[in-house]
Chain A
Amino acid sequence: MTSSTKTSYVIKDVAILDGKPTDILIQDGVISQIGSGLTADQIVDGSGCVALPGLVDLHTHLREPGREDAETVLSGSRAAAMGGFTAVHAMANTNPVADTAGVVEQVWRLGQEAGLVDVRPVGAVTMGLEGTALAELGAMADSAAAVRVFSDDGKCVHDAALMRRALEYVKAFDGVVAQHAQEPRLTEGAQMNEGVISGKLGLAGWPAVAEEAIIARDVLLAHHVGSRLHVCHLSTAGSVEIIRWAKSRGINVTAEVTPHHLYFTDDVVESYDPIYKVNPPLRTKEDVEAVRAGLADGTINIVATDHAPHPSEDKDCEWTAAAFGMTGLESALSVVFETMVQTGLMNWAAVADRMSVAPAQIGRVSTQGQPIEVGSPANLVIFDPRASQEVDARKTVSASRNTPYAGRTLPGKVVATFYRGKPTVLNGELNA
């Protein structure tokens, strides 16, 4: 590790965001020079490529401890690096649940040992994700893991009084509650978006209102107690409207959308292939257009992957028996490129904001999401927009293969990822 951080790198002829090609010199973990004709121990050809600040994922399931057959902190860190990420937030729904300082410190330490990305543990809001009593939020905040994001993700903090207290309590350490917005009674047994297609397929519906009702309640609660709220994986046109309204009122709310909700519509479920089973479910064309527009205009602050690895037996089965979730770390940047940049909705500066700067701010990760300028920590991703790849589930770096893009061709490719000045990906290959 010492030798590689001592090595200096120069990325030649790379465009910083939407700018003109230049050279970026990386030395001692920081960006030490930007200009032309720079040299270093090792040269990376960046011609035709774009340099973005290393991506920050606010919503990642690393499955360790408990489901190491699906993913580990190490395998998930490798997948993250391959996707251009330099920080991930590890969700709390592990076994045991990350609801104590002990568990979050374990995950944090495993992240340090892997050494490929910053692994920032997310703490559970309630003990055991059971929605009845607050977890030790302060102890997790004060631990070595310095938790700032709290979420019962996978389950909704549906008790309004408990949600209010959580929103208030985390103010003491500048924390944020990231809500999985799902009204439980409206979604009992739910399998897919409730709409024309669920009616036809005979699958129990997950109505948009079950998400929107919770978001509406939570923004009002956040307003009432003057707290910061983050909405996980927003998926409906109505949710975008509510967030837009809340922001216009000055409510301190941020929201995320996943790459798959930018990309897929619910008609893919007609195949009954559980690779498309995810929570919240894939929605309609109108919803996809609304979340894209919301991301472009900043109503939705960030893209977060909700990377949810599952072993094959949990997907190679009938729909209702299958697990919810899909992997997303390795494909996220290409999907955002296809859905947001190639469509003309966003430029690279906006991509950097939504996938690095803003998520780092929400998660209070000070060393990430920094501008690409001299003196910044060298957390960078070099992306070649001219390339394209057919996704092969068997070749994923993640320990799981449940990518919904398998067999599809996605544009662009991560050529290199630098984490604290060290290449974790080089020439499109994992360098670790």
Chain B
Amino acid sequence: MKHLLSAADLSYEDAILVLDTAKQLAAATEQGVGKLPPLRGRTVVNLFYEDSTRTRISFEAAAKRLSADVINFSAKGSSVSKGESLKDTALTLEAMGADAVVIRHNSSGAPHRLANAGWISGGVVNAGDGTHEHPTQALLDAFTLRNHLRNGEGDLKGVNVTIVGDVLHSRVARSNVLLLNTLGAKVRLVAPPTLLPYGVEDWDCEVSYDLDASLEGSDAVMMLRVQRERMNAAYFPNAHEYSNRYGLNVTRMNRLSENAVVMHPGPMNRGMEISADVADSQRSVIVEQVANGVSVRMAVLYLILGGSESM
């Protein structure tokens, strides 16, 4: 694995390897060994063009637990805010000897460009690009699902996952549809028609406009963040109507099967796509998702930075 740009880059074997590696790294961390040594002397750059404290901290913790040197490069207050191009920033990082660049960018495809334009030689990890993909989020979601529904083993064959909300602008949904399919799960997207991408009927998933009709049979419901500003562009009339039709409240949650879990990639709009009661309920695995994020990102960095066969 040289880069991780899209969840589509991962074959079934790759995906299982990442999840199994994450499991081992999580176990090693839990045993309280402190820092693990494999990336000692390697440099990981977190290149963040968008504010995302959560994802940046998660990658930073992952790299540090593997003993890598971490450089955080955020757009604000750096040469980027002075108009430096992605190319020049990349050339600078290359000259500094970055072994891997973790990039979050508001432009879809920026990580792809960084990996393929010949600007740098190190590995590139997509930490979320525009409305395209967020593959490590999909990996941590799969890891969480596997822990809850498959005892932390194997794949997700036969698991029904319902993803609800602003699919159109969601990089989380795109990556999840790809990875969950690779792992054998069945995906259903639920959203108002305005928030589904053109051509979604060609994706490997079911599509529904009706949340109530989609709850039964779901093993997991993943609620996507919906920005209130979207109503200004007429994607839906107002927050109240959105919440009534597509929000997950306690009544809806109680209709889920006994073992079904509720997920959210964060940050949540409590009261909008998810009610506070649901977010804080027993079924919610939202906090666990955050913890699993570090393990999965450790696995990705380990595998990209030439973690060899043995650990």
A residues adjacent to B (C-beta < 8 A): 191, 194-205, 207, 271-273, 313, 316-321
Contacts and interface: CB of A to CB of B under 8 A. Distances in A.
B226 to A, nearest CB: 17
A202 B202 contact: no
Contacts of A271: 112, 116
Contacts of B133: 202
A198 B131 CA distance: 10
B108 A207 contact: no
A316 B116 CA distance: 12
Contacts of A194: 198
Contact of B108 (A202, A273, A313): A202
B91 to A, nearest CB: 11
A393 B105 CA distance: 29
Interface of B: 85-87, 105-110, 112-113, 116-117, 129-133, 171, 174, 197-200, 202-203
Contacts of A273: 113
Task: Sort A-B residue pairs by CB-CB distance and give the 10 closest, nearest first.
Answer: A202-B132, A272-B109, A199-B197, A196-B199, A202-B131, A202-B108, A320-B107, A318-B110, A199-B199, A318-B107
B129 A202 contact: yes
B132 A317 contact: no
B199 to A, nearest CB: 4
B107 A313 contact: no
- Residue of B87, B197, B202 with highest tally of chain A CB at under 10 A: B197
Nearest to B130: A202
25 contacts: A195-B198, A195-B199, A196-B202, A200-B199, A201-B108, A202-B109, A202-B130, A202-B132, A202-B171, A202-B174, A203-B108, A203-B109, A203-B131, A204-B131, A207-B198, A272-B108, A317-B87, A317-B113, A318-B109, A318-B113, A319-B109, A319-B110, A320-B108, A320-B130, A321-B107
Contacts of B200: 199
A203 B117 CA distance: 19
A142 B132 CA distance: 52
Nearest to A204: B131
Nearest to A194: B198
Contacts of A318: 86, 105, 107, 109-110, 113
Nearest to A205: B198
Contacts of A319: 107-110, 113
Contacts of B106: 320
- Residue of A194, A203, A313 with highest tally of chain B CB at under 10 A: A203
B87 A316 contact: yes
A197 B200 CA distance: 10
A191 B129 CA distance: 15
Contacts of A203: 108-109, 130-132
B162 to A, nearest CB: 19
A9 to B, nearest CB: 45
Given A317-B86, A320-B108, 19 more contacts: A191-B108, A194-B198, A195-B199, A198-B197, A199-B197, A199-B203, A201-B109, A202-B130, A203-B108, A203-B131, A207-B198, A271-B116, A317-B113, A319-B107, A319-B110, A320-B106, A320-B107, A320-B130, A321-B107
B169 to A, nearest CB: 8
B8 to A, nearest CB: 9
A273 B119 CA distance: 13
Nearest to B200: A199
Nearest to B170: A202
Contacts of B108: 191, 201-203, 272, 319-320
Nearest to B202: A196
Nearest to B85: A317
A200 B130 CA distance: 12
A127 B197 CA distance: 37
Given A317-B85, A318-B110, A201 B199 contact: no
Contacts of B198: 194-196, 198-199, 205, 207
